Structure 1
């Protein structure tokens, strides 16, 4: 059994990103509901509701009311509430602007940009902190962000065997800072310590 985002214990499930579910039709009429409903619109409405009312108050019925459809219409596009929360989680990560992979900007500045962006995301969407701990965070947007952090660390000269640990250290530091009230100065100081630690582990010619 696993504990889902709403606190209830449910049978173990795999991620929506691993179950091979193709996005369902756009604008399909189902059960007499109006056309124009699709996963993207449902996901965007979910993000808005989570921002406005929080994770504890979110429900499929409340979402359906926001969209002016029946709850069964929403289930035509997503199988479960948890699937929808995973989609919303990845949509939030899609807001992050990633430095160009071919950028000539110094890796330290790129890492600062990525860390600040992630911290800002957690501040705008407090529910992301909870869902990141509840679900496999492997949607395309989240994966792209994590990969970009890893690429920046690779560009710093970190050997291959040290990149996963360095990437995890950066992500976990920002995630931890997002769960507590930390001042800008404290966040910046901690990030600079991480950058200095990465530099110290890069082999010198």
Structure 2
């Protein structure tokens, strides 16, 4: 079992996926386990609460209340809240519709599709980007995602020493884009406004402040180009264009490697 103390002492080897749950002591008290409760239900409830209320409000007690069980009941299945968060991250990665990179389609199709799906998942669950790097991410869904990424990047024809950089360029870009987008949507919701209302108010605020007038002048043509479009449409188009830039960069590096 991975205790909180063990996590702090040796984080590089601490993961809920490295536990031997079958060896957990106390199995003779099975009669005390609540009926109908299992790890999957706990994790699904945690994901739902994280989506609705955010990281700050998640606790073992909050999850137990939602499941109508005692907080101590959860400890039959997990040792710490960190276990639940690590399991929740992997459950979210399970939402990615992974395809077979070796199905004969061009690697560009697979790369664009997976990067777009990755962005959508992170926007849908904005708490994930905040904590994903706190864990080893060796759960089955996380590993399947990583393996799919590596197969796609290998299919580009890049030499091995260049593949990690290409992976970072595309998927760290998608991660950063989705993090900013997801947190923007959260901020809008917290303010009681839609993204379109928030964006409109922000533009008005800039235009009403003399000291910010110069900054607005620099992007007036950009603002005009987006006139009449929703924030969601702007985000989508910006992502697609930026992803095209990333793919074009990979293509150029492949040509250089071949040359």
TM-score range, shorter chain: 0.7 to 0.9
Deviation at 1:137, TM superposition (A): 2.5
The structure with higher relative contact order (CA 8 Å, sep 6+) is 1
Question: Partners in 1 of 2:16 and 2:160 — Cα distance?
Answer: 30
Describe the shift of the 1:21–1:170 C-alpha distance in structure 2 as closer, same or farther (beyond 3 A): farther
Aligned: 1:55 with 2:55: yes
Deviation at 1:51, TM superposition (A): 0.9
Question: Partners in 2 of 1:175 and 1:22 — Cα distance?
Answer: 35
Query: Which of 166, 187, 192 matches 2:239?
Result: 187
Name the structure 2 match of 1:151: 151
Describe the shift of the 1:102–1:23 C-alpha distance in structure 2 as closer, same or farther (beyond 3 A): farther
Aligned: 1:175 with 2:175: yes
Question: Partners in 2 of 1:45 and 1:68 — Cα distance?
Answer: 11
Equivalent residues, number = 195
Question: Partners in 2 of 1:22 and 1:140 — Cα distance?
Answer: 18
Name the structure 2 match of 1:72: 72
Question: Partners in 1 of 2:155 and 2:38 — Cα distance?
Answer: 39
Name the structure 1 match of 2:132: 132
* Pairwise CA RMSD: 2.4
Deviation at 1:201, TM superposition (A): 1.6
Which stretch shifts more, 178-187 or 39-48? 178-187
Name the structure 2 match of 1:37: 37
Gap runs ≥5 in structure 1: 5-9
Name the structure 1 match of 2:83: 83
Name the structure 2 match of 1:7: none
Deviation at 1:33, TM superposition (A): 4.6
Contact 2:90 2:139 in 1 (8 A): yes
TM-score, length basis structure 2:
0.69
In terms of fraction of residues, the more helix-rich structure is 2
Which of the pair has more CA radius of gyration?
A: 2
Question: Partners in 2 of 1:146 and 1:174 — Cα distance?
Answer: 14
Q: Secondary structure at the match of 1:17?
A: helix
Deviation at 1:53, TM superposition (A): 1.1
Question: Partners in 2 of 1:60 and 1:31 — Cα distance?
Answer: 21
Question: Partners in 2 of 1:39 and 1:171 — Cα distance?
Answer: 30
Question: Partners in 1 of 2:23 and 2:176 — Cα distance?
Answer: 33
1:151-193 Cα distance to aligned partner (Å, 9 max, x none): 1111111111111121122221011001213722221121111
Describe the shift of the 1:196–1:90 C-alpha distance in structure 2 as closer, same or farther (beyond 3 A): same
Contact 1:31 1:73 in 2 (8 A): no
1:10-42 Cα distance to aligned partner (Å, 9 max, x none): 555422223444598xxx975745312111111
